[in-house]
């Protein structure tokens, strides 16, 4: 067997779950002398391309960071633009998503969102519940620390009500109270725009995720970038604290 054949035989499987921090919309717009909202709109198109690429590449789960619990600090007009885009795309895309076998879900604190958005989200979840081609999870009004606090409150209530003993709490029990209950941890987290931080994304779930940071601004992201990120992931040696298998 040639060295190349041996290498391809030992190539690790592609990631089952890819999470993406879709960053750089504002800089993309600024470079073109456009308002930031135009960057967010172009970002929504990049997301459509990415969904198609994930299905073609056989990814099982895609989680995308769309709006963080800290993004409320932005000017009100930008927050309104982002919420408007979300309403528009969720309504417009739902039948396409359903038709392509996409199952749509959401992470984040729903209590902070407008009632009509909550309704659109619930409708999207119901409509796509049978999707088997790709699980897409949109993180909206999401912060990793906020998610952990909400899970800890649930655990505390269960303990106070005598349904759970504090000693019984382990990783599995806490993970089951997170917004991501039932979703495997991300194997790969990609962040666009060149920033190299998590910005409060999947704080618990990223414990052993591989990170790939790419300089491309999110509105320019496409299938080739996803393939390159997956390729880099497949070069990594995931040891989980153990010794490398050589």
Taking the C-alpha atoms of residue 164 and residue 171, their distance in angstroms, rounded to an integer, is 14
237 is catalytic: no
Longest dimension (CA), the chain: 63
22 binds ligand IPE (CB under 6 A): yes
Instruction: Identify the burial level of 23 via C-beta atoms within 10 angstroms of its C-beta, where 0-12 means exposed, 13-18 middle and 19 or more buried.
Output: buried
Least distance in angstroms from the C-beta of 24 to ligand IPE: 4
Find out whether 68 and 199 touch, Cβ atoms under 8 Å: yes
The strand order across the sheet containing 188-191 reads 102-107, 134-142, 61-68, 17-21, 188-191, 210-213
Here the tokens at position 103 are 């199952």
Q: Among ligand IPE, Mg ion, none, what does residue 80 contact (CB within 5–8 Å per kind)?
A: none
Q: Residue 74 CB, nearest distance to Mg ion (Å)?
A: 10
N-to-C CA span, the chain? 18
21 scored as a contact of ligand IPE (CB under 6 A): yes
Active site includes 135? no
Q: Does 23 bind Mg ion (CB under 5 A)?
A: yes
131 vs 186 by CB, closer to ligand IPE:
186
Q: Which of 82, 94, 136, 230 binds ligand IPE (CB under 6 A)?
A: 82
Contact residue for ligand IPE among 37, 66, 190, 216 (CB under 6 A)? 66
Rule CB under 6 A: say whether 41 interacts with ligand IPE: no
Identified catalytic residue from 71, 109, 185, 220: 71
Q: How far is the CB of 111 from ligand IPE (least distance, A)?
A: 19
Q: Which parts of the chain fold into alpha helices (H)?
A: 3-10, 25-31, 36-57, 76-99, 115-127, 144-160, 171-175, 223-235
**Which CB, 23 or 187, lies closer to Mg ion?**
23
Sites of contact with ligand IPE (CB under 6 A): 21-27, 65-68, 71, 82, 193, 195, 197, 199
Sites of contact with Mg ion (CB under 5 A): 23
């Amino acid at each position: 067997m040639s060295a190349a054949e041996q290498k391809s035989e030992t190539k690790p499987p592609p990631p089952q779950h890819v999470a993406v921090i879709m960053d750089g919309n504002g800089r993309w717009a600024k470079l073109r002398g456009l308002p930031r909202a135009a960057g967010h709109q172009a970002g929504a198109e990049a997301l459509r391309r990415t969904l198609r690429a994930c299905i073609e590449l056989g990814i099982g789960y895609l989680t995308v960071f769309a709006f963080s619990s800290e993004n409320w600090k932005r000017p009100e007009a930008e927050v309104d633009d982002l919420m408007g885009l979300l309403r528009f795309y969720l309504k417009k895309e739902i039948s396409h998503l359903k038709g392509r076998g996409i199952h749509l879900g959401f992470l984040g604190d729903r209590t902070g969102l407008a009632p009509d958005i909550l309704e659109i989200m619930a409708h999207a979840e119901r409509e796509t519940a049978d999707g088997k081609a790709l699980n897409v999870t949109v993180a909206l009004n999401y912060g990793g620390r906020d998610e952990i606090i909400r899970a800890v409150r649930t655990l505390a209530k269960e303990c106070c009500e005598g349904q759970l003993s504090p000693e019984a709490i382990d990783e599995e029990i806490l993970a089951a109270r997170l917004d991501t209950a039932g979703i495997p941890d991300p194997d790969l987290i990609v962040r666009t725009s060149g920033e190299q931080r998590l910005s409060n994304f999947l704080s618990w779930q990223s414990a052993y995720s591989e990170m790939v940071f790419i300089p491309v601004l999110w509105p320019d992201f496409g299938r080739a970038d996803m393939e390159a990120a997956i390729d880099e992931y497949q070069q990594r040696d995931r040891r989980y604290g153990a010794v490398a298998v050589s």
